[in-house]
Chain A
Amino acid sequence: MADDLSDIRRSPLAGLDLGSRAGGAGGVLLSEGAARESFILRGQADDAAFARAVEAALGIGLPQEPAAAVGSDALLIRLGPDEWRLIVPLADGGQFAARLASELARAGGPGALVNVSSATTVIAVAGERATDLLATGTGIDFDPTAFPPGQSVRTRVGNTQALIHRQAVDAFELHVPRSHARSFWEWLEDRGREFHAAIAL
């Protein structure tokens, strides 16, 4: 019998003991975001059966725009011509994905669905200096007309690859590879000195 997963889940940032570092107020606030379930969804954008299966399972159409995000607490982000990322709350317990898998199977199994829930760690960067801090390590243009809230991009930030989801003009979530998370966090803190970065729990 599998245990309740929430007890055994361990963040790669746990070893940093962020609690002991928390506090202060600065131009930018760093925190670990809530863990999510996430899935790579692959398929042909122009394959009607595939698109219908996705819509049937998730209730949202396949986003066609690069880097668009759809849904309220679930995100479906287009990351490549035939690649999407489905990000859903942990509390969902894999239901979205299960539905998607069965719809895809019913449609004759187009595309691919791969669970990568453990592959990334979510780090939230917020505050009026959030873009400045991120801009120390990425060449992405953060002008809200170029990168409006609600959108996501996959890019390189500092020492890691990251999927950046812009929640608001000055609030971002970064999904970074789990094995890099600790180094990346430390890099953020170091670069954040310029902005008096504070840590929130």
Chain B
Amino acid sequence: MLLIPCPFCGARDETEFVYGGDAGVERPRNPETTTDEAWTDYLCFRDNPQGMHRELWFHRDGCQRWITIERDTRTHELGAVRLSRS
């Protein structure tokens, strides 16, 4: 069970959070002019790295902010953490 250092609340158990996936995925700014390929890239295709992963978590049982953290997907070593909207 991870201990996730919420930038606002401090370190809390993983069970307080909801995972939101790859933080690097960007929603196309102009969906209507985006190709099917680029749009479905956004919807479905992921890097899925073995190593550092920048990802989103929602602190459901705490500050209710979405946060962005860096985590090694093999060891769960953590890197930088920030509020997604800041």
Query: A-side interface residues toward B, CB under 8 Å?
Result: 66-67, 79-81, 83, 139-140, 153-156, 161
Interface check B13, CB cutoff 8 A? yes
Shortest beta-carbon distance from B62 to chain A in Å? 6
Q: Which 8 A-B pairs have the closest CB atoms?
A: A80-B63, A139-B13, A156-B61, A161-B61, A156-B16, A66-B8, A154-B62, A155-B61
CA distance A66 to B5 in the complex (A): 14
With known contacts A81-B63, A81-B83, A161-B61, A155–B16 Cβ distance under 8 A: yes
Interface check B15, CB cutoff 8 A? yes
CA distance A52 to B64 in the complex (A): 25
Given contacts A66-B9, A80-B62, 12 further A-B contacts (CB under 8 A): A66-B10, A79-B63, A80-B63, A81-B65, A81-B83, A83-B64, A139-B15, A154-B9, A154-B63, A155-B61, A156-B16, A161-B61
A sample of 26 cross-chain residue pairs with beta-carbon separation below 8 angstroms, ordered by A number, consists of A66-B9, A67-B9, A80-B63, A80-B64, A80-B65, A81-B8, A81-B65, A81-B83, A81-B86, A83-B63, A83-B64, A139-B12, A139-B13, A139-B16, A153-B9, A153-B62, A154-B9, A154-B61, A155-B12, A155-B16, A155-B61, A155-B62, A156-B15, A156-B16, A156-B61, A161-B61
